[in-house]
Structure formats: structure tokens, C-alpha cells
């Protein structure tokens, strides 16, 4: 994935396609926007940045926690190999799947449930992206990251969240780097903020 390839894809993708309801008219703005159920479609420039830092390769096996509208997922499917995406809210996950299938992507596995535990049966993953903030890096996700893998995720409390890049070297040594401050909805579930799944 070169920066030019990513930029071309980013510019040609119509974010309005991933939005139903009143936010659709604002799809062109570089803001997170409401998509219902207290959730948001991510800010386009942040989707670009997170995708870039993931350094996807055509063979990458990618885990995404928080499918939301499917907007970030399409970047993973276009530049990665196989994508495993988990959304806790059926009301968002089902339409997101329909959108991605209608675009012709057949390299995506979908799950409705608690993604804070990852997808153990499909692990290890070369890349992991979490699009909701947890209080700490979920140990389950670090365990499911392959040697040589990269994980990007927001960590912190509302008003003070860092975007982290977590890498695991070929020996299994884990390092982390803060990429900047961000604003995300909370990751809920077993390894998120409380076990409040409905």
C-alpha cells in the first residue's frame, strides 16, 4: 500500500454511501458523524491516518473491532488480505455487511458480538484495529497479534484518549507508541468499559 494508492482510494470513496439518515448530507465534512444508537462514523482524515499506520499488505490477516458503518472496513478489505470484523450492535453490523457485500468485497468475515475478546479461533492476526476506546490495551488482543504484527487503537477516558500503535516483534516483544490525541466512543464489553453488552 503506497501513500498515493491510499490517497486515491480515499478521495474516490463516497462516505455518504455508508450513512443512512440525517448525517448523510454532511458526509463530505471531515468530522465524525452520528449513525444512530449513540455511535459515529469515523472522521475521514483519521481513517486515512489509522489505515496508513497499519501498513497493510495484500496478504495481511486483519481484525477490526467496531465495524460501525463499514467505512473503515472497506479500506482494510481493499488493502489487506482477509478481514475479520466484529460489531456489537446488530442494527449497525447488518447494514454495514450489506453495504460491503454490495461493493463486491468477498474477503470479509463478519461477527456480531463482543469484539473486546478478539476472534480467538481465527487468531493470530497480522494487523488489529480497534475503532472504540478502551481504558487500557486489551491483553486478549495483544495475545492475538502475530509476531511482526501491528495494532492501532485509542486508549483512555473521554476527553483524554491517545491513539496508540502497538507492535510485536519477531521475538514476541511488544512496544507501544503514542501517535496523538483522539476522540472515540467507548469500547464496551469484557475487556472494554464494563460488561454492558445487551
Q: Name which of 106, 103, 100 is nearest 87 in CA terms.
A: 100
Q: Does 185 bind ligand SAM (CB under 6 A)?
A: yes
Q: Does 187 bind ligand SAM (CB under 6 A)?
A: yes
127: left (phi over 0), alpha (psi -120 to 50) or beta: beta
Shortest distance in whole angstroms from residue 125 CB to ligand SAM = 15
Given a contact cutoff of 8 angstroms between Cβ atoms, the answer to whether 35 and 91 are in contact is no
Give the one residue of 1, 74, 77, 88 binding ligand SAM; rule: CB under 6 A: 88
Q: What residues act catalytically?
A: 42
Q: Name which of 132, 113, 129 is nearest 185 in CA terms.
A: 132
Q: Does 138 bind ligand SAM (CB under 6 A)?
A: no
Per CB under 6 A, contacts with ligand SAM among 28-87 are 39-42, 65-66, 68-69, 71-72, 86-87
Helical segments of 40-164, H only: 44-54, 71-79, 90-102, 139-143
Provide the 10 A C-beta neighbour count for residue 107.
13
Shortest distance in whole angstroms from residue 112 CB to ligand SAM = 8
Per CB under 6 A, contacts with ligand SAM among 102-131 are 114-116, 131
Residues that bind ligand SAM (CB under 6 A): 39-42, 65-66, 68-69, 71-72, 86-89, 92, 114-116, 131-132, 184-185, 187-189, 192
Amino acid at each position: 500500500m503506497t501513500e498515493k494508492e491510499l490517497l486515491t482510494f480515499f478521495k474516490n470513496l463516497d462516505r455518504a454511501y455508508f450513512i443512512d439518515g440525517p448525517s448523510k448530507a454532511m458526509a463530505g465534512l471531515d468530522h465524525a458523524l452520528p449513525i444512530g444508537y449513540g455511535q459515529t462514523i469515523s472522521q475521514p482524515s483519521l481513517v486515512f491516518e489509522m489505515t496508513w499506520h497499519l501498513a497493510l499488505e495484500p496478504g495481511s490477516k486483519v481484525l477490526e473491532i467496531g465495524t460501525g458503518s463499514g467505512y473503515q472496513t472497506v479500506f482494510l478489505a481493499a488493502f489487506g488480505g482477509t478481514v475479520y470484523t466484529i460489531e456489537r450492535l446488530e442494527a449497525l453490523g447488518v447494514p454495514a455487511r450489506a453495504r460491503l457485500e454490495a461493493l463486491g468485497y468477498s474477503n470479509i468475515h463478519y461477527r456480531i458480538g463482543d469484539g473486546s475478546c478478539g476472534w480467538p479461533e481465527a487468531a493470530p492476526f497480522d494487523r488489529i484495529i480497534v475503532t472504540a476506546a478502551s481504558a487500557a490495551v486489551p491483553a486478549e488482543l495483544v495475545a492475538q497479534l502475530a509476531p511482526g504484527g501491528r495494532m492501532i487503537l485509542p486508549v483512555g477516558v473521554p476527553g483524554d484518549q491517545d491513539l496508540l500503535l502497538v507492535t510485536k516483534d519477531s521475538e514476541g516483544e511488544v512496544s507501544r507508541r503514542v501517535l496523538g490525541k483522539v476522540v472515540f466512543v467507548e469500547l464496551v464489553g469484557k475487556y472494554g468499559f464494563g460488561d454492558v453488552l445487551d
